Chain A
């Protein structure tokens, strides 16, 4: 993913913003993505945007991946991808701010992208039912690792294997294996949905 930046310099960074609620692993998602990118020899930086966070409150985090050393720690304002871990937050102010017109909006939802009320947005919209699938595998609604797998499949910013390696390094034992399997689910759903994308660029990744 390279494109000329507004300043004319060759843009080499891929920037992702994660939205969700406290307890859904929003910060962990950005950290896992940064670790996966690091595992692939790239520069990566994960930064949470903390408030006085508590379970259920809106949380966001950032991950920046680049081929060059990353010197700046400023927040990401024009992300290449926005991941929404909680579908009830989709229409809160700020969620879609700055998303690049050629960018990706990845939403944890059981609905079709066309049913999300996002008409008028140029970005590509993909939905995956991450809550349902994580509940099936983990017994808990933790959507972040499946979404990371989907993000890997849709953008190629990191490989599935690198995501799984990062997950297993973070969560030992069964939790690591189950979350790595969820990432694989997400990857599969996303890559299947890519081939089935509608002409409008919207697609829903079906389970199973």
Chain B
């Protein structure tokens, strides 16, 4: 049933319907409303026998999730920004030990300078942690992806991170359908752990592996992630059959079939991109947009096929790989390697600066006119005057202090 509800609340209710055994979390903006909502639902007895663990830190949260998952429980947590950095030591343990923890990452910039607003640098910082990373383009998709995340995680025994734009989605109130309990139950069977810590039947989980087998363990992990490409799509199809709504999957192409210029992005900016694509199509420009829903594993073949007919691609990345370019831009370049497609790598929307219609429109029309650089990183919403003055002062300081 459609209701006018805040994104965070809808996510909390959806996670509750996935019947977790343990939720362990530490509050941090903009994730807070999600775990507050779950805390209330657990306290009201609406999440079965679920235990809500208020831990002392994000490191504690992930460690508690790892322990609870290893003991056979369905586990969930949520965090943002520096919170996921504080989890970083434990994240590859969850994936390496094959524990299907599900986490919401309410995307927020990384400090310093401290900034509580939305971008994707927190997600990018953990791209190699062995977790699947799914990006929600809307609150409806955010809700749907959480059900799908538990399904995917428990099928493959890998942890899954659902990335949801902080504030922009988490704090937006709009019409959202939280899947009914019967629908979630029809999709998600009880959790059957791969192996389980049990005092009556002792096993070791997480024994040391030396050079004789470490490569093989990692190879298998890599193969499993690639197998997830099939599972992510299968689960999205299954979800559509049961709930009657298309969401999730690997990629979300919008009017790309005959597009000459395609904008590629992650998360909520795709809604704005779709509006602008419609406007520019009305004006006769052959443009399209491609959302990457599944960022890890990276769906190379699907991306390459979706961008096949384009001559130019604008990658709009809300994170920066300082000293190189953007992570997303590099992935797209690799995916179209050997084709004549020209890739423009753009960074914008850092630290909460909104990705506006005007910005998306300017990028697409400039690309159509061949006016975007294809060899250097483009800072599309930079205050160039301010930056130039600061840079000059910085260089002067270096000169005088040599």
Contact = CB atoms under 8 A, between A and B. Distances in A.
A43 B138 CA distance: 14
Interface in A2-60: 7-9, 30-31, 34-35, 38-39, 43-48, 50-52
A71 B272 contact: yes
B355 A74 contact: yes
A73 interface: yes
B271 A52 contact: no
Contacts of A9: 279, 282
Nearest to B278: A9
Interface string B1-39: 000101000000000000000000000011000000000
A73 B173 contact: no
Interface string B150-177: 0000000000000001011101111100
Contacts of A8: 282
Given A50-B167, A77-B356, A45 B172 contact: yes
Contact of B271 (A44, A73, A75): A73
Nearest to A77: B356
Contacts of B30: 50
B2 to A, nearest CB: 8
A48 B174 contact: no
A70 interface: yes
Contacts of B304: none
Contact of B174 (A45, A51, A52): A45
A52 B4 CA distance: 25
A61 B206 CA distance: 48
Contact of B172 (A7, A35, A46, A51): A46
B275 A72 contact: yes
Contact of B354 (A30, A45, A74): A74
Given A73-B169, A74-B354, A44 B279 contact: no
B275 A47 contact: no
A73 B272 contact: yes
B196 to A, nearest CB: 42
B167 A48 contact: yes
Contacts of B283: 7
Contact of A74 (B138, B272, B282): B272
Contacts of B333: none
B225 interface: no
Interface of B: 4, 6, 29-30, 116, 138, 165, 167-169, 171-175, 268, 271-272, 274-275, 279, 282-283, 354-357
The 5 closest A-B pairs by CB, nearest first: A71-B271, A38-B4, A72-B272, A46-B173, A35-B4
Given A47-B168, A50-B30, A50-B171, 16 more contacts: A9-B279, A31-B6, A31-B173, A34-B174, A38-B4, A38-B175, A39-B4, A44-B174, A45-B173, A45-B174, A47-B171, A47-B173, A48-B171, A71-B138, A72-B275, A74-B272
Interface of A: 7-9, 30-31, 34-35, 38-39, 43-48, 50-52, 70-75, 77
